[in-house]
Structure 1
Amino acid sequence: AYAVDSTNDGKRDIWKNWPDVIGSIANYLVQHGWISGNPIVPPATLGSQWGGETPANTLTPEETVASLRRQGVVFSTKLSGDAKSQLITLMGDHGEEVWVAFHNFFVITRYNHSVMYALAVHQVGQKIAEEVKRGES
């Protein structure tokens, strides 16, 4: 349902044809609501206004950019204040890491319903993009 023939060779080969693999992944994301160019999950910090425990991770955004900022969450985005968002936390090498997940993050979780998986996919994608950019310069 999501496989595409990116090379126009008449076959949708997601096992041996890398352009078909990448095109099929992109098609899956688009079919599930991916918004090209929108942010995914920037790192955040909990400012002095933050009170209490961090919430349990969820697979749906229950906050907005503005509501998180009012609660003292510090993060960078160009999204509007009414954009849906959700604070997520994971344990990293140096303790608890805090992130703000936006719409595209939750699109990733449509494939695998795990916050950790979606964050790993995002981080691997960022590293690949950095290497591609480095190779172009």
Structure 2
Amino acid sequence: MTSQRTIGWLAKSAGVHVQTVRYYERQQLLSPVGRRPSGYRVYDHEAVARLRFIRNAKALGFTLREIGELLSLRVNGRARCGDVQRKAEAKLHGVEAKLTNLQALARALRGLIRMCQAGQPIDRCQILRQMERDQPASQQSQKRRTS
């Protein structure tokens, strides 16, 4: 029973908070291997690996639902690396789409900043006026590029 440790040990070993471990348990991403007679949950080294997997997948932008799917593939005897690759490719496409949207927002903000005449009274602020328009500045700059 020496290989079974407490939730505090697990959290420290994986570099997360105890509350994070409890949250992942509620999300059914992680389970204790048992309980001590006192009722305390106990974990093994596999739980550390699983918790690190969850933490690293989150850092790559995977949602908890997606992480659950990856964990299911990990234990599925019929799954192949290509199954995981397709999920990673789908995540990459989503990240690239977000990046494109963020770049459009950055262009719109740069345009607003260029319009600014800093010495003007606030009632003549072009940035505020643009924000009051029907159409957001980011859509206006996209229309100009596609026309």
Above 0.5 in TM-score?
no
Which structure has more helix as a fraction of its residues? 2
Q: Taking structure 2 as the reference length, what is the TM-score of the superposition?
A: 0.27
Which structure has more strand as a fraction of its residues? 1
Q: Taking structure 1 as the reference length, what is the TM-score of the superposition?
A: 0.28
Higher relative contact order (CA closer than 8 Å, sequence separation 6+): 1
